[in-house]
Amino acid sequence: MTSINGNVFYKLTVFVSRFCLVVATFLLTSCVTRPPSSIDNICDIFEDKRGWYKAAKKSESKWGSPISVMMSIIHQESRFKAKAKPPRKKFLWIFPGARPSSAFGYPQAKTSTWKWYLKDTGNRGSDRDDFKDAVDFVGWYNARSTRVNGIESHDAYHLYLAYHEGHGGFEKRTFSRKNWLKTVAKKVSSRSIRYSRQLESCEASLKKDGWWPF
């Protein structure tokens, strides 16, 4: 009888331990992947997500793409949601169908483009739902747009068009008849200017607080 009770107690202990581990993992993951509370002010974003400034600054130094430009593109693509995906198409106007593309994560990078990034940079362990990797990807892509398409590194408007249409599409000006896309690119450009001004007011504090990457 004592042996039976001991066995039940052991199983109960194992169950409780595993349950607590699952709950702790869920809470930790939710905390890490939740978007910033305020996404309209870049200072609030970096205050909320304290590792993000370091990652963004490192990408800026590495690729020459301004923080404000990269953050504006990510804002437009995913609203800083780690697991973002394109909405599903409707089947028979009611049922959820397939997604329009393989875009995923903070940068909404397609699988093929992400594989290109991994091969070109050697960052084999990178993930689209990891902000550090995502902002490095955006910096890398913008640097290629500057090199291939001749776009200035601070030109958020044309950089976003190249980001959306691809370098070949940008060369062919596939965006010329997409007024909706040009409107979105203007929003990205305006946000980049606003982010840049906001960052001027808090970057010294960010560096002072030990978030400088060097």
For residues 138 and 70, give the distance between their C-alpha atoms in angstroms, rounded to a whole number: 6
Q: Are residues 91 and 182 in the same domain?
A: yes
> Both 22 and 53 in a single domain?
no
For residues 16 and 116, state if they share a domain: no
With pLDDT > 90 as the criterion, what percentage of the chain qualifies? 71
Does pLDDT of 196 surpass 70? yes
Q: What is the pLDDT of residue 110?
A: 97
Are 94 and 22 part of one and the same domain?
Answer: no
Asked if 165 and 175 touch (Cβ cutoff 8 Å), the reply is yes
Q: Are residues 28 and 79 in the same domain?
A: no
* Closest to 61 in 3D by CA, of 147, 152, 135: 135
In this predicted model, which residue has the larger pLDDT, 54 or 26? 54
Domain region containing 43: 37-211
- Tally of structural domains, the chain: 2
Taking the model in full, what pTM does it have?
A: 0.80
**Do 86 and 8 fall into the same domain?**
no
Same domain for 106 and 13: no
Helices (H), the chain: 2-33, 42-48, 52-63, 67-78, 111-121, 131-149, 156-171, 179-206
Question: Is residue 108 domain-shared with residue 199, that is, in the same domain?
Answer: yes
Angstrom distances, CA of residue 104 to CA of 14, 89, 123, 166: 36, 16, 17, 16
User: Amino acid identity, residue 48?
Assistant: D
Q: What is the pLDDT of residues 100-150, one digit of tens each?
A: 568 999 999 999 999 999 999 999 899 999 999 999 999 999 999 999 999
- pLDDT tier for residue 32 given thresholds of 50, 70 and 90: low
Do 57 and 145 lie in one domain? The reply is yes
